[in-house]
Amino acid sequence: MAEFIAALRGVTVDLAGRAPLGPIDLTVARGEILALVGASGAGKSTTLRLLAGLQTASAGELTRAAGVGRTGFVFQSPTLTPWADALSNVALPLELAGVSRSQARDRAAAALAAVGLSDRLNAPPSQLSGGMAMRAALARALVTAPDLLLLDEPFAALDSVTRRRLIEDLHALWATAAPRPAVVFVTHDVEEAVYLAQRVVVLDAASGRPVADLPTPGAPPRPDRWRADPAFRQTVEAVVDALEAAMAPQADTAA
């Protein structure tokens, strides 16, 4: 694997009302796109929060590569400030980091243009469609040029056409960034995971442990009609098989 940017080593998380998650061992390489899939409750979002430093581990540790500090996070909903326009929303993390207002707004305008919203700078969230709002949230996460970008099912509520367009946009933004951020993407959609990522990690339904790590063929951005490619279909089926195994009830081996 290439140089790592973040790693969870022997991490467990105690959760109320259920068995602990873990131990989780997961390494994210610098500049890669990794997808996490698993059953509901398998710990996908918890793993993202651990990588972001937003979740406290009960045991084990999060290790980051030297010099890594900037992390972008896009949640399942855009979480835009309702009383601020798109430009102000995207400029906010820069202003909070001490960037001057004029520089922050210039960089925010460029980030919004990169996601196709150059004509919506002054629009409040109430005037943005679901896809536009998620584009604005993605621009806000990318405007600080993060080393690590964490995406928690950001496209789940969108229609299939909008989801595909946003994945293509994400690939284009990732491919042209210098340096490229590492991306960890949570999804319930196996086809989305295989299309988006360079490797897919399957989490055990009961413990949240990574139980399969499957590379995807080729490299993003994907060629036209790649979803019809036999290599894509074979990888999807391999991930489905691993996911079904991870969700199967464990045999009781107690004497």
Q: In this model, does residue 253 exceed pLDDT 70?
A: no
And the tokens for 243?
A: 């996911």
Q: In this model, does residue 163 exceed pLDDT 80?
A: yes
User: Is 11 part of any domain?
Assistant: yes
User: Is 110 part of any domain?
Assistant: no
- What mean pLDDT comes out for the span 182-200? 95
User: Is 209 part of any domain?
Assistant: yes
Q: What is the pLDDT of residues 14-70, one digit of tens each?
A: 988 788 899 999 999 999 999 999 998 899 999 999 999 888 899 999 888 766 668
User: Is 117 part of any domain?
Assistant: no
Which range of residues forms the domain containing residue 46?
1-70+181-255
pLDDT at 2: 63
More confident site: 25 or 249 = 25
Alpha helix ranges (H) inside the chain: 44-52, 86-96, 101-114, 130-142, 160-176, 190-196, 230-247
The number of domains in the chain is: 1
User: Is 150 part of any domain?
Assistant: no
- What mean pLDDT comes out for the span 210-214? 96
Q: What CATH number is given to the structural domain containing 193? A: 3.40.50.300
User: Is 134 part of any domain?
Assistant: no
Q: How confident is the model at residue 255 (pLDDT cuts 50, 70, 90)?
A: very low
What is the secondary structure of 107-147 as a DSSP string?
A: HHHHHHHHTT-TT-TT--GGGS-HHHHHHHHHHHHHTT--S
In the chain, % of residues over pLDDT 70: 95
CB within 8 A of 206, min separation 6: which ones?
19, 42, 250
User: Is 31 part of any domain?
Assistant: yes
User: Is 114 part of any domain?
Assistant: no
